[in-house]
């Protein structure tokens, strides 16, 4: 198959492309590299800063359109698949739709349905937009609602989701949201990670500090709950300075970010999530224990009945403090959790296994 992966989110398309190529498909990745993260891509469509950034990008995208034809499948990472205003993307989407065989939309994170369904219907116990039946009204949540609901971005999302041939949702939360609106075209496929063979992890030497890593996305700390997790970690570090130390990475390119993460024992990530993100999965692949989203639904959708490597926390400060206190007081748990973290990624997120699932989806819409 000829496959075009358009846009990027946390290295999903770059990793998927490697898996699809290994299966023998012709794959082209076109993206801006997910802003400062600068993930690899075949064709760069990053938006440059300054007054002329949008104009220059528009000109580049229109010059590329003749090359973005004749694909069996075009997969969009998000309804906003290029860093342009939604109004500019309507005609580009129509061009892609009219000059390629099938269109697939990714439901991997923030979009209109994620904001609207979790604000109004609240299918999840908690999310970026609700805690129980209570709607979150902090500035981070309100900003996303203003951005997506009753806006051109939201209208574009509705058009693409209604018009495309399939919607791929991952993680579980996005499936739970999209299946309420598009049950017949939404498919769950796990996020892809380039996995490595699992290894044995030794117990920490006596009097060794547990290394806790916190990665902060520019401008999204409150939205993801990283601010609360970091505050909780600092409280535990204050209580146990001889047993724990914190490293914080903010706004780093992917290569530098990985280097800083290496050697950590624990990562804090995604306070409001049921499931591990690409960031968490990358850490787990390295044998780093995740404190974050590991609700039962996460394991159930994967059919995982043995491994429980993620230290699940509820979306509050006290839960994170308690989880870290338990690790500090029982560091002997770390070797098994690290091994099981790697095994979990191998079982469910290996990029070749995931690429095979995408291949099956693509074949099903090409040959219904």
pLDDT at 218: 66
Regions in the chain scoring below 70 on pLDDT: 218-221, 223
- Are 251 and 167 contained in the same domain? no
Count of CB atoms within 10 A of residue 41's CB? 22
- Are 263 and 301 contained in the same domain? yes
DSSP string, 218-250: TT-HHHHTHHHHHHHHHHHHHH-TTTEEEEEEE
Question: Residue by residue, what is the 3-state secondary structure of 293-355?
Answer: CCCHHHHHHHCCCCCCCCEECCCCHHHHHHHHHHHHHCHHHHHHHHHHHHHHHHHHCEHHHHH
Query: Do the domain assignments include residue 155?
Result: yes
- Are 108 and 136 contained in the same domain? yes
Give the domain extent around 278: 210-348
- Are 110 and 249 contained in the same domain? no
Count of CB atoms within 10 A of residue 5's CB? 28
Neighbouring-strand partners of residue 245: 211
Query: Do the domain assignments include residue 60?
Result: yes
- Are 66 and 91 contained in the same domain? yes
The SS3 of residue 44 is strand
pLDDT at 219: 63
> Are 215 and 267 in contact, with CB atoms under 8 Å apart?
yes
- Are 148 and 173 contained in the same domain? yes
- Are 244 and 339 contained in the same domain? yes
- Are 358 and 324 contained in the same domain? no
pLDDT at 278: 95
pLDDT at 224: 80
- Are 94 and 114 contained in the same domain? yes
Residues 6+ apart with CB under 8 A from 231: 317
* CATH code for the domain in which residue 307 is found: 3.40.50.2000
- Are 17 and 135 contained in the same domain? yes
C-alpha 5/C-alpha 193 separation (Å) is 16
- Are 128 and 258 contained in the same domain? no
C-alpha 244/C-alpha 31 separation (Å) is 39
- Are 341 and 358 contained in the same domain? no
């Amino acid at each position: 198959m000829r496959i075009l992966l358009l846009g990027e989110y946390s290295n999903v398309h770059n990793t998927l492309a490697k898996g699809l190529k290994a299966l023998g498909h012709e794959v082209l990745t076109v993206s801006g590299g997910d802003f400062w993260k600068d993930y690899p891509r075949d064709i760069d469509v990053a938006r440059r800063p300054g007054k002329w950034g949008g104009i220059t990008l528009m000109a580049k995208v229109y010059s590329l359109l003749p090359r973005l034809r004749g694909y069996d499948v075009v997969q969009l990472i998000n309804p906003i698949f290029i860093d342009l205003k939604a109004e500019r993307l309507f005609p580009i989407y129509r061009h892609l739709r009219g000059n390629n065989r099938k269109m697939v939309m990714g439901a991997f994170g923030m979009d209109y349905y994620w904001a609207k369904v979790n604000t109004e219907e609240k299918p999840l116990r908690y999310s970026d937009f609700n805690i129980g039946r209570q709607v979150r009204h902090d500035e981070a949540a309100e900003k996303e609602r203003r951005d997506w609901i009753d806006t051109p971005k939201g209208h574009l999302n509705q058009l693409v989701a209604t018009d495309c041939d399939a919607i791929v949702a991952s993680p579980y939360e996005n499936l739970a949201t999209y299946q309420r609106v598009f049950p017949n075209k939404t498919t769950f496929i796990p996020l892809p990670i380039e996995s490595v063979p699992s290894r044995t992890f030794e117990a920490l030497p006596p009097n060794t500090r547990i290394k806790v890593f916190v990665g902060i996305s520019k401008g999204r700390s409150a939205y993801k709950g990283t601010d609360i997790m970091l505050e909780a970690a600092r409280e535990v570090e204050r209580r146990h300075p001889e047993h724990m130390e914190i490293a914080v990475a903010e706004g780093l390119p992917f290569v530098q970010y990985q280097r800083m993460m290496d050697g950590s024992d624990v990562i804090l990530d995604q306070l409001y999530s049921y499931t591990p993100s690409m960031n968490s999965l990358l850490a787990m692949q390295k044998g780093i224990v995740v404190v974050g989203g590991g609700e039962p639904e996460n394991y159930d959708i994967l059919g995982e009945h043995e491994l429980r490597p993620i230290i699940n926390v509820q979306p509050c400060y006290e839960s994170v403090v308690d989880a870290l206190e338990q690790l500090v007081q029982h560091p002997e748990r770390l070797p098994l959790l690290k091994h099981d973290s790697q095994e979990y990624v191998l079982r469910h997120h290996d990029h070749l296994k995931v690429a095979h699932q995408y291949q099956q989806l693509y074949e099903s819409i090409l040959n219904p």
